[in-house]
Amino acid sequence: MPVKENPNYFSSNFNLGILGGGQLGKMMLYETRKFDIRTKVLDASSEAPSKIACNQFVQGDLMDYQTVLDFATDVDVLTIEIENVNVDALEKLEDQGKTVYPPTKALRIIQNKAKQKLFYVDNQIPTADFSRFAYKSEIKDSIENGGLQFPFIWKAAQFGYDGQGVKVVRKMEDLDALPPGECIAEEMIDFKNELAVIVCRSANGEIKTYPVVEMEFHPEANQVEYVICPARIDENVAERAQEVALKVSEKIEHVGLLAVELFQTQTDEILVNEVAPRPHNSGHYSIEASYTNQFEQHIRAILNLPLGETKSKVAGIMVNLVGAEGHTGDVHYQNIEEILAMEGVTPHIYGKKQTRPFRKMGHVTIVNQDISKARQIAQQVKETIKVISK
């Protein structure tokens, strides 16, 4: 049988469209530049990080139906770097024969956390118990009627990101600060570890997973501070995490990357927290530590190219660089020269000119043959570099 060749993506007129121009898009564009794949990016900000790296930049609202339709007119494949996009427009484009990855069917489930949780229940995927509410006022009624008990995790059904749209609710007064719309109230899990598995799935069904990573979170901002690969967990727990992540991938039928965030309970049960259908913070370590980084892998998957090796060359840790508390304005990376002098340390600066408390401004990867040594250096990096305003 003759081998069916893919279209000529390289050094050609093929045009890859990306919805979203943030740091994930920028790092994806490093890979399209490497392969000389032509790109077009849509983002609302005139100072989007991706602007400097794409072939064509369009400023516009990702949630506007007509803007998304118009943007896609001359692209051959359309993908995303953020979930908050107009899915109705993507569905229309699919109906017109446009290739859209991840498919809108998967994106509709993932975009709404309530639908996402119901999807897990319907497909016998282990997840924390939850209640769904159309309005915040219904939460108070549920508490008063004994249906919901403190403490619990409140999550906005849509448009949450970087720790936004997630709050721990310990008493009735905590409800006052929450926005009014659709949400879920989730059981607060007593967990040993927060883990993640990135699953890559190509258009022809080839599937690979990256090693299980361990995530350490900032207690106030609910943002990842450290991602550690490989996770410091028992091999049986790692296998179970991989199995659960693969089941989510199989059932949701995504194409591209799917980052599956997981809880390891005190009894070593694995529960799905939530997923993201794109490159993810938990995979940034892969730029320096893996044979094929997550951004290249996403490009390979959506273009139906052979998937790359997901194994790590070396242990890797990622430290998020976020804006320091009390600092808003033009950004300054204090002591960056000192971390550049450290062994195995690589900073990635996203290109955001303005800092504010807890805003993601970059990340640093630390690689070392010894995971314990890498963790020590990561701590040193965290304590040395500060993202402040001038």
Q: For residue range 38-81, list pLDDT tens digits in order.
A: 999 999 999 999 999 999 999 999 999 999 999 999 999 999 99
Q: Which two tokens stand for residue 134?
A: 């159309």
Could you give phi then psi for residue 90, rounded to 5 degrees? -65, -40
pLDDT at 218 over 80: no
Q: Which two tokens stand for residue 377?
A: 């250096």
User: What pLDDT does 2 receive?
Assistant: 45
Cα gap 49→46, rounded to integer Å: 9
Do 364 and 339 form a contact (C-beta atoms < 8 A)?
A: yes
Q: For residue range 308-331, list pLDDT tens digits in order.
A: 999 999 999 999 999 999 999 999
**DSSP states of 266-335 as a string?**
TT--EEEEEEESS--GGGTTHHHHBSS-HHHHHHHHHTTPPPPP-SBSSEEEEEEEEBPTT--EEEEEET
Residue 276 sits at the vertex; the CA angle it makes with 203 and 237, to the nearest 5 degrees, is: 95
Q: What is the mean pLDDT of residues 347-356?
A: 97
User: What pLDDT does 5 receive?
Assistant: 65
Q: What is the mean pLDDT of residues 215-228?
A: 82
Q: For residue range 357-386, list pLDDT tens digits in order.
A: 999 999 999 999 999 999 999 999 999 999
Check residues 141 and 5 and name the one with the higher pLDDT.
141
Cα gap 79→28, rounded to integer Å: 11
Cα gap 190→273, rounded to integer Å: 13
Listed residue (116, 110, 113, 108) closest to 89, CA to CA = 108
User: What pLDDT does 162 receive?
Assistant: 58
> What's the pTM?
0.94
Do 54 and 82 form a contact (C-beta atoms < 8 A)?
A: no
User: What pLDDT does 57 receive?
Assistant: 98
User: What pLDDT does 1 receive?
Assistant: 40
Q: b vs e for 27-51, b when ≥16 Cβ sit within 10 Å of the residue's Cβ?
A: bbbebbeeeebbbbbbbeeeebbbb
* Mean pLDDT rounded to a whole number for the chain: 94
End-to-end CA distance of the chain: 64
User: What pLDDT does 3 receive?
Assistant: 46
Listed residue (59, 24, 40, 4) closest to 256, CA to CA = 24
User: What pLDDT does 177 receive?
Assistant: 87
Q: For residue range 337-350, list pLDDT tens digits in order.
A: 999 999 999 999 99
Q: Quick one: pLDDT band at residue 16, thresholds 50, 70, 90? A: very high
Bridge-based pairing of strands 77-80 and 152-156 is unpaired
Bridge-based pairing of strands 77-80 and 15-19 is parallel
